[in-house]
């Protein structure tokens, strides 16, 4: 069985300042591009059955700089829809809602029509992605790579491990890092996490 490799995109201006970024299509910073290119040694020498990226530029560019070729765009890999909290920091949200917790409360809709998502909605998206990848992973023709966003990949990790979506809170994922989900005794397991060269 192939491993599931999870790559978070490199740094953007908003990831650097802690602003929630879902559909806003920000480019990588210069440092983010360097981070992405530094992933090449971690991915070199592996065989890939499939490479999927979020359609957003920061993920696509990270895949390119990390040396991943033949990537397919997968819309369901987009980041948690932050709705009314797009571009806002957690500290700013806590000024109005001191008890707010993304992993428990989700986000309210935005005035521009973005509905926002709950942990369960993000989990359902992650489940659909994982279901589509089962054959690729089981075929044992190489690893599957997903290049996407922190919160979505954290939820996807929780779901792969059989945990509720909100347990993604347990898996911090820094910019331009690699996580590897493998199997042990037939069960999904975290083999490596938050790797940088």
Please give the positions annotated as active site: 9, 79
Nearest one of 84, 77, 42, 83 to 58, comparing CA atoms: 77
Dist CA 193 CA 178 (whole Å): 6
The string of DSSP letters for 64-127 reads: HHTT--S-EE-GGGS----GGGTT-BHHHHHHH-TT--HHHH--PPPTTS-----HHHHHHHHH
- DSSP label at 50? E
């Amino acid at each position: 069985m192939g491993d599931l490799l999870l790559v978070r995109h490199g740094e953007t201006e908003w990831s650097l300042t802690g602003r929630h970024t879902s559909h806003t299509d920000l480019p990588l910073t210069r440092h983010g591009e360097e981070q992405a290119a530094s992933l090449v040694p971690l991915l070199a020498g592996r065989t890939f059955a499939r490479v999927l990226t979020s359609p957003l530029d920061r993920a696509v560019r990270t895949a390119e700089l990390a040396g991943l070729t033949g990537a397919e765009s997968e819309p369901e890999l987009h980041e948690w829809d932050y709705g009314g909290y797009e571009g806002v920091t957690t500290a700013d949200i806590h000024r109005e809602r001191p008890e707010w917790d993304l992993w428990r409360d989700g986000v309210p809709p935005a005035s521009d029509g973005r509905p926002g998502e709950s942990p369960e909605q993000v989990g359902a998206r992650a489940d659909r992605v994982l279901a589509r990848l089962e054959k690729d992973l089981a075929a044992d023709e190489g690893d599957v790579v997903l290049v996407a966003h922190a919160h979505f990949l954290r939820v996807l990790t929780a779901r792969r491990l059989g945990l509720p979506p909100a347990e993604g809170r347990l898996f911090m994922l820094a910019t331009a890092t690699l996580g590897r989900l493998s199997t042990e005794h037939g069960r999904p397991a975290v083999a490596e996490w938050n790797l940088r060269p």
